[in-house]
Amino acid sequence: MAGVTLKNVVKYFDENEILKGIDLEIKDQEFMVLVGPSGCGKTTTLRIIAGLEDADGGEVLIGDQDVTNVLPKDRNIAMVFQSYALYPHLSVFDNMGFALKLQKVSKAEIKSRVDMASEILGLQDLLKRKPRQLSGGQRQRVALGRAIVRDPAVFLMDEPLSNLDAKLRVQMRGELKKLYERLKTTIVYVTHDQVEAMTLGTRITIMKDGHIQQVEKPLEVYDRPANMFVAGFIGSPAMNFLHGYIKKEEGKFVFVTDSIKVWLPDNLYTEFEALPDKEWVLGIRPEDVLDKQSAMYLKKDFNFLKAEVEFSEILGSENYIHLKAGKDRFVSKVDPHITPATSEKIEVAMDLRRMHLFDKENTLAVI
Ligand SMILES: Nc1ncnc2c1ncn2[C@@H]1O[C@H](COP(=O)(O)OP(=O)(O)OP(=O)(O)O)[C@@H](O)[C@H]1O
Ligand SMILES: [Mg+2]
């Protein structure tokens, strides 16, 4: 077992700088998820760790060893790809044992390792089948099994669940989690799905345009996003952003936009006092914009304001009400049985104790 360290890794494709100095320390036995929009460099980062792609600058360490010049097969890693890439003419057993056979591992040892992996993954009854006789989820498990039998120091997984339908994906997510608890090996897992990132990762690395934006535990990322990109990327529906100014009125701080005025929480007064007078972006998550009834019930000192319903998305478990107040647009996540009509003017309450504040120019979080 081993951790993985990237030091100032740079990668070009043609003249395009794809990775712009990646510094990342993945600890031994950590489940690290790399997440970010399409094209941000996740797969490239993984392929550089695997040695399938050469970096144009920087270093890669697996454990304490600088592997920059070590061949992929000698890096003691196993990679699981999005396309399972199983050998169609080989049985499940032979697919799983293939890499070991190449390494000239004895037949008995191969059998014992394949048995162990198929027991973990519930594949015991399928060992004689060919890939085409398997469901998508079963194929995915064989691909995982093929990695497990190699007992690598590090697993690299590139969107391993993205070919599965929604229900299977949820099921396999659970299985991966159990697998990790059992193997306790270092896993570097790439996805663009923020739910996978939140639920699987012991830590998450959020990437954008070849840069790392933040590396933190899932809930920490959610509660304290480092900048507006992370704040908007993690969380669904996305965090609301309101552009405006912080003013002092009657000895209290308020946030004012063209159409909204809200009182800011007392406990942050020293922070507001220190801020220069310029335009800011206030961030508030949809679940912190409450319907009037819930806010009254909670009897908190919330900011009530009127807004017009643009449209609603009722998901069964909750309702996302898309609201408009002047030029400001925001979403409120409420109980699904609260169903105001389109164009109705309703009152909502913002719980600003959970507010975020971002610098409009550099987008960094200041609160
Ligand atoms: N072999 C290549 N030649 C040229 N450009 C490439 C090559 N591989 C990747 N790129 C470019 O590098 C950038 C990063 O690609 P990468 O595959 O790492 O993105 P990603 O974050 O994995 O995206 P996705 O979520 O779509 O898989 C993209 O702009 C892509 O077009
Ligand atoms: Mg990719």
Q: Domain ranges in the chain?
A: 4-227, 240-359
Is the CB of 43 inside a 6 Å radius of any atom of ligand 1? yes
Asked if 137 and 168 count as a contact pair (C-beta separation under 8 A), the reply is: yes
- Provide the H-helix boundaries in 191-301: 194-200, 218-223, 228-233, 269-274, 292-298
Give the other-Cβ count within 10 Å of 174's Cβ.
Answer: 12
Structure tokens at 239: 């965090």
Protein residue with its CA nearest to atom 27 in ligand 1:
38
Distance 156 CA to ligand 1 centre (A): 17
CATH of domain 240-359: 2.40.50.140
Question: Was domain 4-227 assigned CATH 3.40.50.280?
Answer: no
**38 touches ligand 1 (CB under 6 Å):** yes
Q: Is 42 in the pocket of ligand 1 (CB under 6 A)?
A: yes
The three-state secondary structure class of 197 is: helix
Residue pLDDT tens, the chain, 367 long? 699 999 999 999 999 999 999 999 999 999 999 999 999 999 999 999 999 999 999 999 999 999 988 999 899 999 998 887 899 999 999 999 999 999 999 999 999 999 999 988 889 999 999 999 999 889 989 999 999 999 999 999 999 988 788 888 888 899 899 989 988 999 999 999 999 999 999 999 999 999 999 999 999 999 999 999 999 999 999 999 999 999 999 999 999 999 999 999 999 999 999 999 999 999 999 999 999 999 988 877 788 999 999 999 999 999 999 999 999 999 999 999 999 999 999 999 999 999 999 999 999 999 9
Q: Quick one: tokens of 312? A: 């609603």
- 159 close to 192: Cβ distance less than 8 angstroms: yes
Query: Could you tell me if the CB of 39 is within 6 A of ligand 1?
Result: yes
| Atom 13 of ligand 1: nearest residue by CA position | 39
Query: Residue of the nearest CA to atom 12 in ligand 1?
Result: 18
pTM metric for this prediction: 0.94
